Structures are given as structure tokens and as C-alpha cells.
Amino acid sequence: MQGGPDIPPPREGGFRLVHTADWHLGKTLGNLDRLPESHAFLRWLAEFLEAARVDVLVIAGDVFDSATPPQAALRLYYDFLATLHRHGRTRVVVTAGNHDSPGVLESPRDLLSAVGVRVIGSLPAPEAGGEAALLIPLPSREAARVVIAAVPFLRERDLRTGHLGQSAEEIARELQDGIAAVYARVAEEARRCWPGVPLVATGHLTALGALGSESEREIHIGGLGAIGADRFPAAFDYVALGHLHRPQKVGGRETIRYAGSPIALSFGEAGDRKEIRLLDFAAQGEPEQHAVPVPVSRALFRLKLTRNDLRAGIRAAAVPESPLRPWAEVVVSGGWAGAGAGEGDDLCREVREAAEGVAFDVIRILSENDAAPAVLEADAGAEEEEVRALLSEPKAVFRRRLEREALEEADRERLLVAFDELCRLHAERLR
């Protein structure tokens, strides 16, 4: 099996868990599909879980890239879960992230529960058990060896009731206190019901002091919901976080961690290591942890060139190897910024010509001084086919429309977040 160090066998009488997050199935780069890389990751993950004899897989949010994922992404997700069920060992706990629609994730909840998959899309209402309903004892309630506090992405309506005239500081404090209160209540309930049993919490949020990347969006407006590591109760033996795409510990604490995304979701993540987190729990004490590298199925890399050395630089590029054909972003200084309307087209043509016959595809070109990149599509087909493809994906249509507006990147991302939320609300209304 590819990837990862030699993993010791599970501890006698222990419990083995894998923490992953931010799959973003259905994600595109420009207009290019990322499902081949996602498929390669999930195939590798299924093999690893079986070979390492993993008891439970925890997915800490953002299974999908949008509230209305394409059918191909849904099929990939369900095929993966079916594969795990056929292997017959690994249970799965799935929590929603800010990109996910709780309704889409939870719609097959009863069916998935029958095959060992527990799904938590949103904070349960008090009449449905409230925070107590987030607790998942494994392998069973009567013989729990680990308890998962499966906390999903907490939306603002779960945390506070707004009032006119509130300041940003007041809103931030209410959001942070609301998040901390949820974790405090769930920890207290877990310790009351299963004293002494290792306790793992999930979360999809921004933790203060952690490093983000360009492919993430703010969860709460202005990042007001970011909390410190000290807001998680000491009762948690491990906190499995999602949202930030770089694997990392939080607040210097090895037991509060982001798993990171399993594939590079943007060129800004091209140099990041990607991993899943393997944890071995004994009866007491901190889990033993292993960082397991995820094999790179398609390499992303950046080339920074001048207009004068464009051809030579592309031809001499050090291309990272990968099973799928690598993709490159070319950043050109002395490009078309401030030039005539046709200058960008001329530069794109030069790059296409310079890249003919090389072992990678240039899929994006940026002028170093230009905020609006020109995007090259490696599989650009006939105009009619492109229009048909766009119309099948509402988000792609909206994204294309935004590209025509003179917007700051932060404003464009906020509009995309709002569009995702509207799509989610529409999908829930149709249920």
C-alpha cells in the first residue's frame, strides 16, 4: 500500500481512530474537475483503514465543497462508504462543515446508521436530545472504549440571538461564549455517562493561532467566531478539527489538531504536506498519534517567470512527479497589467505555445500586478459544451458571473458563501 510510515499494530484492548476533514468533494480549480484526485485519495484511504485495522474514521466537516454537490461527488462519497461496509471493520462518524448542507448529509442518516455510519449535520434541538444526542459511544453504549462528541459546524443561529445596535465586540463575545458553552455541556454529559472513557470531540471552526490558506473562507463574518485552545474543556482527550487546510496543532497542544485537507485545494497549498491523523487510545491517558502522509495523486506547482524568460522558464521547469498529469500556475512579472485589452490574450497565447509538448498542463496564468487572473482550461471544448456544463452547475454559473465584476477577492468569497447558504436553504425547502 502506498503512503505512510510503518504503522505498529493496534494496542491490545485499545481503540484505533483516524481523523480526517475537508475533503471538499466536487471542488473545482477554475473549471477543472478535482474528482480524479478525490477518487485516488478515497481508494488509498479505504486500503489504509483496512490494512491498519482502524476501528473508526472521523470526518470533521466539509465532506462536500458546496451545499448542492454534483451527482458525481455524491456517488463517490457513497461508493466509499459502501466499500468500508464491505470490508466490515471500520465505523464512520461524519459531521457537517460550513460548506455542507445538513439536509444533504442527514437525508440518508437512518440507512447509513444501519451500515455503521453516524451522521451529525446540525446541532440537535432540545426536544431531540440537544448536546446529549451528539455523543456516540463506540463500539457500543454498554462497552464504550471511546466516546465521540460529534459536534458539527455551529451556525450563528445555534449560538446567539442578535439584537439591533450590537457592536462587533459584543457579537464576537456571544459567538465565542456560545461555542465554548456547547463544548462544556457535551463534555459534562459525556463524563457523567461514561466516566474514565477516552473522549474525542469534533469541531469545524477557526481556532486562534492556527494558520490558514487561501482556499478557506471565513466561517462567521469577519472571523468573529474564532476561539482559543483554552475554550475546549480539559475533559477532551483529543479535539479533531476541520476547516483549516494545513495539518497543525492548536495553541501548542498536540491533542487539539486540524487534520487538513487530503489534497491541495489551491495553488497556495501546493507546497503543503497532506496527512491523516492516526490515534491509538488505551484505557487512560493521551492517545498515541501518528501523522500518516497522503500520497500525492496530482502535483500542483507554481512557476514565477518574467515575460522575457517565459519560454525558457516553462521548458526548464522542475516538474514534480505524480500519477495524474501535474498542473501549474504561471505568475508572470512584466505581464499585461495596465496594458491594452488584448494584452492578456496575447500572454495566454504565448504561454500555450511555450507549454506545447511539456509534461504538465498550465491551467492558470497570473500577472504579478493584476488582481484578476486569466484562467486557462486544459480541457476547453466547444462553446456549446461549455455552456451546457455550466448550466448543470448553478455555482459555476454564479462564479462565472462574479468574474465579470470588479470585486475584491474577499467580497467575491463572501458572495460565494452567501450563494452556498441560499442553495442549502433552497435544497432544504424542497425536502
Element (H, E) at 303: strand 298-306
Report helix, strand or coil for 161.
Answer: coil
Q: What is the pLDDT along the chain (431 residues), one digit of tens a residue?
A: 554 457 888 888 889 999 999 999 999 998 899 999 999 999 999 999 999 999 999 999 999 999 999 999 999 999 999 999 998 889 999 999 999 999 999 999 999 999 999 999 999 988 888 889 999 999 999 999 999 999 999 988 888 777 677 777 888 888 899 999 999 999 999 999 999 999 999 999 988 866 655 555 555 444 556 888 999 999 999 999 999 999 999 989 999 999 999 999 999 898 899 999 999 998 766 899 999 999 999 999 999 998 888 889 999 999 999 999 999 999 888 654 444 445 566 778 888 888 999 999 998 888 765 444 445 444 433 334 444 444 556 776 777 667 656 566 666 666 777 777 677 666 655 55
* Burial of residue 291, with CB atoms counted within 10 A of its CB: 0-12 exposed, 13-18 middle, 19 or more buried: middle
- Give 222's contacts (C-beta < 8 A, 6+ positions apart): 168
Chain-centroid distance, C-alpha 389: 24
The x, y and z cell numbers of residue 151, run together, are 459536534
Amino acid, res. 348: C
Closest CA to 134 of 146, 123, 126, 142: 123
Question: What global pTM score does this model have?
Answer: 0.82
Q: Would you state the pLDDT for residue 215?
A: 55
Distance from C-alpha of 346 to C-alpha of 344, rounded to nearest angstrom = 5
Q: CA of 329: how far to CAs of 16, 246, 312, 361, 376, in Å?
A: 39, 20, 16, 9, 10
Distance from C-alpha of 126 to C-alpha of 136, rounded to nearest angstrom = 17
Q: CA of 230: how far to CAs of 184, 193, 233, 253, in Å?
A: 12, 24, 7, 10
Closest CA to 243 of 106, 96, 67, 123: 96
Q: Specify the fold of 15-293.
A: Purple Acid Phosphatase; chain A, domain 2 (3.60.21)
Question: Residue ranges per domain, the chain?
Answer: 15-293, 299-427
Q: Would you state the pLDDT for residue 167?
A: 77
Q: Would you state the pLDDT for residue 43?
A: 97
